[in-house]
Amino acid sequence: MGQLLAHLMHHDDAAQIFIDFENATPAPAEQALWQQIHDVLQTGPTILQKLIEYVGCEQWIYAAIQNPNPETEDTAWNKVLPAVDQLQEFYEFSLLLEQSFPKLLVALCKDDPKASLSNQQALAKQLGDVFDFVLRFDDAKMVNPAIQNDFSYYRRTLSRMKLSKKDLNIKVRDELANRMSLFFAYPTPMMKVLSETTAKFLDANATVPRENVTQALGHMANICLDMVDKRRFTSNDTNMFCLRVMTGAIILYDHVSESGVFTRRSPVNIKGAVQVLKAYSTSTTTSTDGLVNALRFTTVHLADAETPGSIKQLLA
């Protein structure tokens, strides 16, 4: 993979930065914000595990639809209720990310982004943690149709349960149900939260220039590419963390940059990024297909006329 270095240096000298994702600890100046973000992110592994283990209520819903009677309908409803409580937990975690993410953007982007990533490594690691969680969550959600099926049944049944006075245990009522429905209807809901949150932040916050945010994302993508390409870490888990962070930074860059990440003017070594994803999958037993597909289907500018044909072919 060393041949990618020439491509990388053409795009960005951020490759010279090493972020110690395995050992980064907050300096005194970072501690307060780091703790705030940590308090949110520490719930992430539990959320992911619950999502991965989410099995859905298909058999009970199917029975209630095929053979509607009070017994099958009550059984399906009683199965769906705790499932929806779990979906509410996922949604509420997205709200915490929405509140927290702009704080990281301010800390890492208000001044020179490259220096900030290098000098505030614990916060840079947390930025990586956000991307790592978002990519993992969206990947697990995308392959589990039970989530939307369960919630659709819940919404269809909610009015009937209210009319029959069987709504005493309902936590998710109409307004919240509508917001949750919009969240889960999107194929990659957590990345959508990040992109919309970043766009709102850039529109409302005059103290952080848009170019600082895109520069920070571009630097982060190139740094992670470089660290995997140079084999700075021996752990497969850490290398996959780097690749998820790289992919997340590329996707978010593409969403918030007017010209996108794929143009020849982009500071992101997008060709090198795709190549290193494919090469890593080939050289290890770990699949990176989900990350390549995320670049194909979650970005917004890939099909633009300004995107070089070689990049389109690479992601075809």
pLDDT at 3: 42
pLDDT tens digits, residue range 220-249?
Answer: 999 999 999 999 999 999 999 999 999 999
Give mean pLDDT, residues 72-93. Answer: 95
Cβ neighbors of 52 (< 8 A, separation 6 or more) are 140
| Cα–Cα distances in angstroms (integers) from residue 35 to residues 41, 98, 230, in the given order | 10, 17, 31
Are 208 and 106 in contact by the 8 Å Cβ rule? The answer is: yes
Are 271 and 264 in contact by the 8 Å Cβ rule? The answer is: no
- Other CB atoms within 10 A of residue 7 CB: 17
Query: Which long-range contacts link 76-81 to residues 24+ away (Cβ below 8 Å)?
Result: 76/153, 76/157, 77/157, 77/161, 77/166, 80/150, 80/153, 80/154, 80/157, 81/154, 81/169, 81/170
Whether 33 has a pLDDT exceeding 60, the answer reads yes
Give mean pLDDT, residues 180-201. Answer: 96
Whether 6 has a pLDDT exceeding 60, the answer reads no
pLDDT confidence of 165, banded at 50, 70, 90? low
pLDDT tens digits, residue range 143-152?
Answer: 999 999 999 9
pTM, 2 dp: 0.92
Whether 16 has a pLDDT exceeding 90, the answer reads no
User: Any idea what the Cα angle at residue 234 is, between residues 43 and 46, rounded to 5°?
Assistant: 10
DSSP state of 36: H
Which secondary structure element, helix H or strand E, spans residue 284, and what is its range? Answer: none
Q: Which two tokens stand for residue 145?
A: 């149709």
Residue 309 φ/ψ, nearest 5 degrees: -60, -30
pLDDT at 158: 87
pLDDT at 170: 79
pLDDT confidence of 49, banded at 50, 70, 90? very high
Residue 53 φ/ψ, nearest 5 degrees: -90, 0
pLDDT at 284: 86
Distance CA 132, CA 115 (A): 22
Distance CA 294, CA 290 (A): 6
- Output the average pLDDT for the chain: 92
pLDDT tens digits, residue range 93-147?
Answer: 999 999 999 999 999 999 999 999 999 999 999 999 999 999 999 999 999 999 9
Distance CA 150, CA 138 (A): 17
pLDDT at 249: 98
- Other CB atoms within 10 A of residue 23 CB: 8
